[in-house]
């Protein structure tokens, strides 16, 4: 039996301002190898069963969820905010040292938005979408057969997000992603009401390597966004109060603070 390890995000039962609004828990479970969605779904169910045995009420928040009317609809590729998919908003509002945001990405297929050459930098290592050329090595950037954006990737840096009249910095990590995802939850009341019946949230394709407070990601995860939302709801915050928090970079940044880093290390490992 192959073992898999993934992070589950837990809501905080007794939360108050100044505390981190989610917990991370490393879960070890049976992993089903293979690239098909069926294998990913089996792995997801295995992870959920471990959390259930530990007394949690978990939910898979992704397109790999077995519950198409719940988990699948909560995927950032399906969940909508003001008529646009959360994934599209996240990609379209990116700003780089040489351009952005790219608001035309709000209305395209979310997979295309995620792979658009204009929002790639060196770290992404994605192919040149315009000319269908795979990333391989440094020669990729020097090739005259890739688009101008891909040629300049080595010098491109993500510097933040620009949302209407608000500029969002890159720290705390996932702050902007969580803000737009939770905003979408507030507009999708049926899904949001179902969500608060759970206390643990997973995304089987999200493979966080280390603690949130460190430098290496990935960090943006819809399961974390759900945990933050449920924490606030279960601790008595109204939708209006939540919207006020997540609309302000200064206020939402407080949801990621750590009171006891030693406890965080023990909980993860």
pLDDT beyond 70 at 262: no
Q: Which is higher by pLDDT, 138 or 94?
A: 94
Element (H, E) at 227: helix 222-234
**247 half-sphere exposure, CB direction, 13 A CA radius:** 9
Cβ proximity of 180 and 228 under 8 Å: no
Q: Tell me what pLDDT residue 269 has.
A: 38
Mean pLDDT estimate for the chain: 90
Q: For residue 18, give Cα distances in angstroms to 24, 192, 244, 255, 268.
A: 17, 24, 16, 7, 20
Number of H helices and E strands in the chain, helices first, is 11, 9
Per-residue pLDDT at 213: 58
Distance CA 200, CA 91 (A): 27
CA dist., res. 220 & res. 233, Å (int):
21
Q: Check whether 22 has a pLDDT greater than 60.
A: yes
pLDDT per residue over 106-142, tens digit each?
999 999 999 999 999 988 889 999 899 999 877 888 8
| pLDDT score of 174 more than 50 | yes
- Whether 45 has a pLDDT exceeding 70, the answer reads yes
Report the pLDDT averaged over residues 58-69: 91
37 vs 35: CA distance, rounded Å = 7
Please tell me the predicted confidence (pLDDT) of residue 240.
98
Residue 144's pLDDT band, with cuts at 50, 70 and 90, is confident
Distance CA 129, CA 148 (A): 12
Least confident of 60-69, 130-139, 209-218: 209-218
pLDDT at residue 265, as a whole number: 47
| pLDDT given for residue 71 in this prediction | 92
């Amino acid at each position: 039996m192959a073992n898999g390890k993934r992070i589950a995000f837990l809501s905080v039962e007794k939360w108050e301002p100044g505390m981190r609004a989610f917990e991370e828990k490393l879960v070890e479970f049976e992993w089903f190898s293979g690239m098909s969605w069926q294998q990913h779904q089996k792995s997801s169910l295995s992870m959920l069963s471990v959390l259930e045995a530990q007394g949690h009420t978990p939910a898979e928040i992704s397109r790999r969820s077995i519950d198409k009317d719940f988990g699948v609809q909560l995927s950032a590729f399906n969940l909508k905010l003001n008529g646009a998919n959360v994934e599209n908003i996240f990609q379209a509002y990116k700003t780089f040292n040489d351009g952005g945001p790219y608001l035309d990405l709000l209305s395209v297929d979310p997979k295309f938005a995620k792979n658009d050459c204009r929002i790639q930098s060196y770290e992404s290592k994605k192919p040149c979408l315009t000319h269908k050329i795979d990333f391989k090595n440094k020669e990729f950037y020097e090739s005259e057969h890739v688009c101008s954006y891909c040629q300049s990737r080595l010098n491109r840096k993500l510097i933040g997000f620009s949302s209407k009249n608000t500029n969002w910095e890159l720290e705390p990590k996932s702050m902007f992603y969580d803000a737009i995802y939770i905003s979408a939850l507030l507009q999708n009341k049926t899904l949001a009401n179902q969500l608060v019946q759970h206390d643990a949230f997973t995304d089987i394709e999200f493979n966080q390597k280390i603690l949130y407070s460190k430098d290496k990601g990935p960090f943006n995860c819809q399961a974390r966004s759900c945990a933050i939302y449920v924490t606030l709801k279960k601790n008595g915050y109204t939708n209006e109060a939540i919207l006020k928090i997540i609309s302000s970079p200064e206020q939402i940044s407080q949801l990621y603070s750590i009171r006891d880093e030693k406890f965080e290390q023990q909980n993860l490992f």
